[in-house]
Chains A and B, each alone.
Chain A
């Protein structure tokens, strides 16, 4: 009974869905305010979801129907599973074991693969180009993201998220060493979430909606929900790794602080997508490998040296 409650209500499906929609609203509202617009009302993401879910679902004639329909479900499932391992109100997650950091990173790669497969099996030119771009982009941002998240893990000498939180609540000042890593993780997260300047796989003016071009109705609603959830989980992961403050004031304060941290990261994402233009795929890969990845490596080495000195 408790396990079912955990999976479907809190902190599982329902909580992540509501938080995801709220995060989408906040992202859109901030984006609008920074662009000198009014922005959507608070219920807009919910209204969008309900409207899409009530629309007719079309599967392209040449598409692989099974893969096409399964992909949104797999995306949502893997995201929610990842969420169960992320600590929220304390330094302990609901489920935690040694090495859960690797599992979370692995589960967060799955949605991108579902975008690729869903787009590829739609068998439309726009979807296939979008799918190929998703995968190309994956190879560019994934390495810097992994390295920048593994650097604090290295410093804390543990592979578990709860362990990292525990270490940094004992040595709070050590988190300052990881500020460059935090910046890199935010940039790589923009690539993972396919937001400007890295929204290349769904560049509207070039390839319509990329991998999602052929999706409609309930399936598209699920995919959009998956993207919203990914935003929350990505922000939660960064909050757990890079901002582990105030974890010992009890569950309520801890939970409030967790929400604030996630909103802060979402605010940073909105800000960065307001102030830049979309890059080209070759520029994006060049940027990730020539700028982001080396800095992430330096961060990793710096953490190793700091660890040596601290001992």
Chain B
């Protein structure tokens, strides 16, 4: 290859990415000299939609921010709402919430391990971990009735109780998973090609991790001792004992070890929760209207710290909801990690932060391809654009709107 620089797009459509996002790499041979990230291909307007719905409806909407850490987002949101309303969630409700949270972490980390295997061409690992992930998916379906969007939370507690006949099944599944995870730890530390591909890739020093604001396993693999579950306990975490897994490899291999270690901690936590599960009600009655106020809630999602801000105005609908998904905090780190790396390492370095792009997208920016100018639209402009776009497709509501206005005025 001549030593000429050229640009290669990874995305918006690319087999390495499960969601559309654009990474533009500048390459010299196989080496990356520069990388730019462009977000905004998956903007769904969830925050704006929240303002038009009641708190109960919002909870289900927010749960759909992410397909994998759905419980994380809904819990984070209702924690803020409960704080504004001053609700005391019963102990049993908190324990059940924490149980679902840990089961969700198990399924998310197993999923990640498979994806990481696929990104480095180790499909056997993908097939094995995803087969074992079915065990925890079955348990989640047993306890909540759903495999992904659990619908378990409600303002003031949880909607379903854990029954006594479910408990032995959960414990049996956890035993099976623990055994499998021990095997994966053995594979991860002993398989030569796996180690070769993961060690020394995507280096992130402790200082850079703090400076760029990395969260979750990405930060913990760089030696940053940070975990919301311990630092700012929510749910039942204050009464449970667990270790925060830290690793000093500062590369993708370290991130793999942290996630495997966290899996073992999650099994320990699930057993503790089941052992200590208090008796009593699972929820309290919540008012339909939430008093005026605002709150910020933090939550340790499988991918890192999730932050929700809710502002209420005394009605049954929130005035403002802000979601900061963990990927937003980690995505800047990717560009830093990939610098001077190899093209072959791009997929695994991107995958190593466990990205969730559609959860992250909160804005859209238009770029004019010819001039390269970027601009944004405000709400009325976007509305007019939408109406005109549909009119061009032959869908026109202006007549209907006129009729509606006449009807409303005659009433």
Contact = CB atoms under 8 A, between A and B. Distances in A.
A132 B343 contact: no
Nearest to A34: B124
A206 B14 CA distance: 9
Contact of B118 (A125, A126, A205): A205
B34 to A, nearest CB: 15
B262 interface: no
A65 B8 CA distance: 23
A98 interface: no
B373 to A, nearest CB: 25
B382 interface: no
Interface in A251-280: 274-280
B124 A283 contact: no
Task: Categorize the interface residue count of chain B.
Answer: 20 to 34
Contact of A275 (B7, B118, B124, B131): B124
Interface residues of A, number: 28
Interface string A277-304: 1111111000000000000000000000
Nearest to B348: A205
Contacts of B118: 205
A125 B343 CA distance: 12
**Max chain B Cβ within 10 angstroms of own Cβ: one of A36, A274, A277:** A277
A35 B128 contact: yes
A277 B194 contact: yes
B347 A205 contact: yes
A277 B131 contact: no
Contacts of B194: 277
Contacts of A278: 120-122, 193, 197
B396 interface: no
B345 A196 contact: no
A282 to B, nearest CB: 7
A196 to B, nearest CB: 5
A209 to B, nearest CB: 8
A203 interface: yes
A208 interface: yes
Interface in A137-192: none
B119 interface: yes
Nearest to B126: A35
A276 B123 CA distance: 9
A197 interface: yes
A279 B193 contact: yes
Contact of B127 (A35, A129, A280, A281): A35
B121 A199 contact: yes
A147 B40 CA distance: 54
B233 interface: no
Interface of B: 1, 6-9, 14-16, 30, 117-125, 127-128, 131, 191-194, 196-197, 342-347
> Closest 8 interchain pairs by CB?
A278-B121, A277-B122, A205-B16, A35-B127, A205-B347, A277-B193, A276-B193, A280-B344
18 contacts: A35-B124, A125-B8, A126-B8, A196-B122, A204-B121, A205-B120, A206-B343, A206-B347, A207-B343, A208-B14, A274-B124, A277-B191, A277-B194, A278-B121, A279-B193, A279-B197, A282-B342, A283-B196
Given A35-B127, A277-B193, 4 more contacts: A35-B124, A203-B121, A207-B343, A278-B197
